[in-house]
Amino acid sequence: MQGFDVNKQGFDVNKIVQVSPTAHAQSAEITQWQIVNDMKIAVGFEGADIEKYRKKVLGVTDVSCLARYGVKGPQAAQWLADHEIAIPANSNSWTMCDQKTLVMRLGSSEFLLEDQWGGGACKQLAADSSRQANVYKVARADAAFILSGSAVLNLLSELCAIDLSEQSLSSKEVVMTQVAGISATVLRQTIAGEPVYRLWCDGTYGAYMWQVLLDIAVELGGGAVGLAQYQN
């Protein structure tokens, strides 16, 4: 680096900080931020008690900061297997790899992995820069959400035309559908014993999605829940 003194400029070029794609929609006043996985993310809003309550009624949590890895191609399944990643047997289903990494099979030959708390598989895979025939890395920048609480189906029924209730969406199923008019991926998951819905959409729609989810959540007696409610 030629003739550039970072400190004098008051900007640390070596410290790469990313911002959650939903941040724009989160009201600055009430949001407590924290850097998780190098991403500035909302960990709290109006205090633990309120958020615990919302979580039970209808909580919306931004978990975009979780590490993700995408790969597709005829050999993608094999390649993941070679990297000791447990993959779901069927199209549009998911599995948990050593309780730490969510592995989604989107269609038959595309995969989306997401490290849960303590998971590290995505980082490891990302480190492998070797390129192999019929295995194509899919760069991801998703906005990711946890939707929790007793009224969650009411919220989803306003945003999605298909039936996402337990009777219809089996526990290991992944659906690629439209939510609030944009493409999204949805599944049911259990986090710390709590059944929740997970939702992913393109990060550039993140702020919009957050706004829509929150508007309805508030109408239904819930609201924003910070990441802290899920960090253990």
Smallest gap from Cβ 208 to other proteins, in A, equals 6
Quick one: three-class SS letters along 127-173?
HCCCCECCEEEECCCEEEEEEECCCHHHHHHHHCCCCCCCCCCCCCE
Query: Which listed residue (27, 32, 90, 134) binds other proteins by CB under 8 A?
Result: 134
Q: Shortest approach of other proteins to residue 69 CB, angstroms?
A: 12
Q: What is the x/- site pattern for other proteins, positions 17-36, by CB under 8 A?
A: xxx-x-xx------------
Among 27, 171, 178, 231, contact with other proteins (rule: CB under 8 A): 178
> 99 in the Ramachandran plot: left (φ > 0), alpha (ψ -120 to 50) or beta?
left
Q: Establish if 183 lies at the interface with other proteins (CB under 8 A).
A: yes
Q: Using alpha carbons, select from 208, 153, 139 the residue that is nearest to residue 186.
A: 153
Helix axes 152-159, 48-58, angle to 10 degrees: 60
Q: How many amino acids of this chain bind other proteins (CB under 8 A)?
A: 63
DSSP secondary structure of 2-54: -S--HHHHT--TT---EE-TTGGGS-TTTPEEEEETTEEEEEESS-HHHHHHH
Return the residue of 123, 162, 166, 170 that touches other proteins, per CB under 8 A.
162
Examine residue 192 and tell whether it contacts other proteins (CB under 8 A): no
Radius of gyration from C-alpha coordinates of the chain: 18
Name the minimum Å distance from CB 75 to other proteins.
10
- What is the binding site for other proteins (CB under 8 A)? 1-4, 9-11, 13-14, 16-19, 21, 23-24, 39, 72-73, 91-92, 106-108, 131, 133-134, 136-141, 154, 157-158, 160-163, 165, 168, 175-178, 180-185, 202-208, 212, 215-216, 219
